Amino acid sequence: MEKFTLFCANLAILLVFSASFLALAGKFGQQQPFWRTWSLANLLLALSLGVFSMEAHLPPFAVFLVPNALLLLGFGLHWNAARQFAGHDADHSRLWLPVVALAAVAVPAMLNGSYSTVYIATNLLVMVLAGMTALVYAGKDFGGLISRYGMVFAFVLMAAEGAIRATHGLVLGAIMGVGLIDDVVLITHLLVSLVFVALAGAFGVGISFERTARQQQEIAIRDPLTGIYNRREFDRRLEAMLSARSGATFGLVQFDLDYFKKVNDRYGHVAGDDALIAVAGLIRDNIRDSDCIARLGGEEFGVLLPDVGREGAIAIAERIRSLVEALPLDFASDGYRMTVSAGLYHGTGGQLTCRSLMQAVDRSLYRSKDNGRNQISFAEAA
């Protein structure tokens, strides 16, 4: 495949993805700034390729600086886009520091007529920028997203290509003229670049929509007020635990805020919402990472405690009960405190169904209510 065709193919893909990302930035830009950064990164890489393709018609200083600076800016923006996607702040030093380093090398190299020095420096900087971008996509912030592996591969590919081309510049040394050499190395580079721009563009779209789909799935299993799991997810996890029939013991606690209607009547429904959020946060902070907390409805909360002993389950439930009783309420300047009643099951599940187990725990909860509230009762279940 000839050089001109490869240049055009790279340019076409870069410009298509740049325009596509810009359109997505117009729709999601405020919440997802990486779309705009990706768009600009692709545009600068396209401009770099365009200048490289016309370097025979450019003055020497432009050949030394312009296309290489645009190339580094493009990869610097890709690094920033990866960090923005991960939820980190963009650092503009990633843009100007590589360009300043290039200029520091390019100016004396231009005076000495040593284009190989600029060629080597540019490719080493591309290697570093691409490598750092690959590390971001390989990091824990992207855990669970399959498309990230495509992004890692794309940028590792460019990091390796940068290292190879830097070595190529070292081998050629002083015999290298001004500008790119039209040889098999250039053709190979353009082919690798074609693979890179296609992968980075396609997997960029893929990783974003994959994360959006996961976020929508997460929203579907969360209570919108408190952010903890909803009844549907709680039941699903309980069903899975009972279906496993592993013989391991677990605990199930159902909490209900006592006289919660008084909070709404006395302080208003906004205060009631604040109270539910506060209690949900308190419970979440006082259970294990492996446990599951859900809002079962109204002022009721459920907690699943897998692989826990009887005394451990009692201790967790009792700690939460006492902490709720001591919980200060910002909206209650008169010192009002809430209490919570609970029903607790502990066992292996036996032959119980989700429905029968929840009924047994519910009965024990109401026994706590009938016996004076602010206490925990054991469920009577086989």
- Nearest CA to 238 out of 282, 283, 296, 161 is that of 296
CB of 329 closer than 8 Å to CB of 275? yes
pLDDT of residue 382: 46
Tens-level pLDDT at each residue, the chain (382 residues) = 577 888 899 999 999 999 999 999 888 767 789 999 999 999 999 999 988 888 777 787 777 788 999 999 999 999 999 999 998 887 788 789 999 999 998 888 877 778 788 889 999 999 999 999 999 999 998 888 999 999 999 999 999 999 998 998 888 766 666 666 667 877 888 899 999 999 999 999 999 999 989 989 999 999 999 999 999 999 999 999 999 877 889 999 999 999 999 999 999 999 999 999 999 999 999 999 999 999 999 999 999 999 999 999 999 999 999 999 999 998 988 889 999 999 999 999 888 999 999 999 999 999 999 999 999 999 976 4
**Distances in Å between the alpha carbon of 210 and those of 26, 149, 217, 252?**
20, 13, 11, 34
pTM equals 0.77
Per-position b or e across 268-280, b if 16+ CB within 10 A of its CB:
eeebbebbbebbb
CB of 313 closer than 8 Å to CB of 299? no
Reported in sequence order, the residue ranges of the chain that DSSP labels E, i.e. its strands, are: 250-257, 292-297, 300-306, 340-347, 376-378
DSSP helix/strand/coil, 346: strand
Per DSSP, the residues of 88-134 read PPP-THHHHHHHHHHHHHHHHHHHHT-HHHHHHHHHHHHHHHHHHHH
CA–CA distance, 203 with 230 (Å, rounded to integer)? 32
CA–CA distance, 245 with 275 (Å, rounded to integer)? 37
> Dihedral of CA 2/4/5/7: which sign?
positive
User: In the chain, what are the helix, strand and coil shares in percent, each to the nearest 5?
Assistant: 70, 10, 25
| ∠ CA 206-207-209, rounded to 5° | 65
pLDDT of residue 138: 95
With left for phi above 0 and alpha for psi between -120 and 50, is residue 370 left, alpha or beta? alpha
- Nearest CA to 148 out of 205, 224, 94, 186 is that of 205
- How many Cα atoms sit within 13 Å of 207 on the Cβ side? 28
Per DSSP, the residues of 33-67 read THHHHHHHHHHHHHHHHHHHHTGGGS-HHHHHHHH
Amino acid (1-letter code) at residue 105:
V
Residue count (the chain): 382
The tokens for 251 are 């605990």
pLDDT of residue 94: 79
Element housing 155 (H / E):
helix 148-172
CB of 155 closer than 8 Å to CB of 133? yes
Alpha-carbon dihedral of residues 152, 153, 158, 159, nearest 10 degrees? 60
| Greatest alpha-carbon span in the chain | 94
The tokens for 122 are 């540019």
DSSP helix/strand/coil, 305: strand
Q: Listing from the earlier edge strand, what are the strands of the sheet with 250-257? A: 292-297, 300-306, 250-257, 340-347, 376-378
> Dihedral of CA 237/238/242/246: which sign?
positive
Amino acid (1-letter code) at residue 42:
N
